[in-house]
Structure 1
């Protein structure tokens, strides 16, 4: 799918790659060290494209690498946590690229903090605003807009695609010229708050975060924090500016239908992403992505982190809960 707007930078792998996976737990430092070494096996064209994107993101805020190795695949699991018999080629591929961009991390509420997360449609979540939905479009958002340690990059590796499932993208670089000066001025002011994604609450009540701007930095090349579902303006003018941004994102986005071996890298400060609705079959052949998050460094999250898992707690405990119930 392409709406005629700026599409991700694309680099294609034309080399047959065969990675040797280590006998180590995925997410362990042994496995990650092996992934770091594996990076050197990628063609120079891919390593150069990743390095360039890391230094200066493409105007789309995204880089698409095609033709990466994923190994032998079993049937698509019915849930993200269902054990499978697959080998670890795709995990090695994903972590090799992640290490070229920074440090891969997990977030405890996201599938227990797994560094590599399986994203598959589930029957229970078809109609919800979560990554395992299918019957509803995922609204545009940056990843973890509410989080003090939000990822710098989101990586999505396609193991099995679906021709009707489109990953949508919109870059602030393209959207900005379509906003009025008054709207831009308001978006640069700390007049917005963001609720917490329900998956991070674990039974606690939701709360709005601290005041923050939507746009920051250079007025001509800003970064963006935006979530169409969870963010609100604190006054009428701020809310109107947020709605103007939302309309511009909807009008000036593109889409990528991910295929087997595609890796989409999204700069989480430049581009928002979403997904179209689609119709899974729940027969073992459905769309299957793997996801990992990358931060610039591990130092910033050190007080909230155990190993590579960020443990930040959000929300307020319900009165009926004991202090340790959460």
Structure 2
């Protein structure tokens, strides 16, 4: 199987949905993302089988890779000016098709598209755009971004937070949707396999020790304080974790620090940062593309976005996916919140 094979199957499913549903129906179905994801995912599976590929092969093709770049999976037409905030995502032909493509991919992989109440008010899809103003979020939105994994203060899937078992896992996948990218700003990918192949064994050993404190990333902090009453900080955690068949990573330069500064743990973290910069692979997400990033097997960042805001400036969407087949019900908010919103 190739990326083109999967992209072609997704494109056919999305095109059929866009062409055979009225606008009102698309709105209604998008309001039930789990059902739509299952429907579109089944269509992707049928398309793959027509091409001689099994759904299991597709799942392995994605889950075992640091990233997959699916090009031209939807038509980026009927766009308005680029938004100037994380949410809401405007309803246009392109944003509908792009979101449908994400739901189709996640459905075919047997993953649930999820969000967290502590980030962006639990919105399932968010805009990645340059923002106006001088605040921390605005300035960061226009700058480059170093290598990190998303939801870094949350545990790996299948594990519990040491102090609060309700805390849900970090996402398995980070999925980006290309709507506009006039300056060809790259998403920089740092495959963990390449990172580990370059690092010294002693540094790798240090990163596997439970000797790091991990804070919430900035987009989560306000929500953490609102829901938990404080920022989520976990202590005595490793950056790297050996699992069946490989090694996982959770890291963010701005959120992960050694419990004791000045020693081998700090040196290993600094060397990890340096290696990430050396092995980074730039991928330009063009309009109509989807970039699937494995949040366990790759770190990611981006090039400098620039000062252009609104208008025809860069516009991506972002969504998360998680294998929730064994997720405890109490790790969801539920109540008056949609089921896809996880705790906290």
The TM-score normalised by the length of structure 2 is 0.77
1:316 corresponds to which residue? none
From 6, 11, 20, the equivalent of 2:4 is: 11
Q: Shift of residue 85 of structure 1? A: 4.2
- Cα distance in structure 1, aligned partners of 2:98 and 2:30: 11
1:64 corresponds to which residue? 69
CA RMSD of superposed structures (Å): 2.8
1:4 corresponds to which residue? none
- Cα distance in structure 2, aligned partners of 1:14 and 1:83: 25
CA offsets, 1:193-224, max 9 Å, x none?
11112322325554531311111116994211
Partner of 1:119, secondary structure, is strand
From 228, 251, 254, the equivalent of 1:226 is: 251
Partner of 1:99, secondary structure, is helix
Please list every run of 5 or more consecutive structure 2 residues that lacks an aligned counterpart in the other structure. Answer: 156-168
Partner of 1:260, secondary structure, is coil
2:166 corresponds to which residue? none
1:318 corresponds to which residue? none
From 249, 259, 273, the equivalent of 2:276 is: 249
- Cα distance in structure 2, aligned partners of 1:207 and 1:166: 30
2:343 corresponds to which residue? 311
Query: Does the Cα contact within 8 Å between 1:162 and 1:258 map onto a contact in 2?
Result: no
Query: Does the Cα contact within 8 Å between 1:161 and 1:260 map onto a contact in 2?
Result: yes
2:105 corresponds to which residue? 97
CA offsets, 1:44-69, max 9 Å, x none?
48986742324522xxx111011101
CA offsets, 1:92-130, max 9 Å, x none?
111110122311111112222122222222113786498
- Cα distance in structure 1, aligned partners of 2:266 and 2:138: 21
Partner of 2:268, secondary structure, is helix
1:138 corresponds to which residue? 145
Higher helix share: 2
2:61 corresponds to which residue? 53
**CA 1:185–1:40 in 2, change beyond 3 Å: closer, same or farther?**
closer
1:155 corresponds to which residue? 175
**CA 1:156–1:73 in 2, change beyond 3 Å: closer, same or farther?**
same
**CA 1:41–1:66 in 2, change beyond 3 Å: closer, same or farther?**
farther
Partner of 1:169, secondary structure, is strand
**CA 1:240–1:72 in 2, change beyond 3 Å: closer, same or farther?**
same
The TM-score normalised by the length of structure 1 is 0.81
**CA 1:220–1:244 in 2, change beyond 3 Å: closer, same or farther?**
farther
- Cα distance in structure 1, aligned partners of 2:178 and 2:84: 16
Query: Does the Cα contact within 8 Å between 1:19 and 1:38 map onto a contact in 2?
Result: no
Q: Shift of residue 253 of structure 1? A: 1.1
**CA 1:184–1:215 in 2, change beyond 3 Å: closer, same or farther?**
same
From 104, 121, 128, the equivalent of 1:112 is: 121
- Cα distance in structure 1, aligned partners of 2:63 and 2:107: 14
Q: Shift of residue 283 of structure 1? A: 4.5
Asked if 1:32 corresponds to 2:64, the answer is no
Please list every run of 5 or more consecutive structure 1 residues that lacks an aligned counterpart in the other structure. Answer: 1-8, 313-326
Asked if 1:260 corresponds to 2:292, the answer is no
From 299, 307, 311, the equivalent of 1:272 is: 299
Partner of 1:216, secondary structure, is strand
2:312 corresponds to which residue? 285
1:194 corresponds to which residue? 214
Alignment of 1:166-185 (within 5 A): 166-185=186-205
Q: Shift of residue 290 of structure 1? A: 1.4
**CA 1:125–1:209 in 2, change beyond 3 Å: closer, same or farther?**
farther
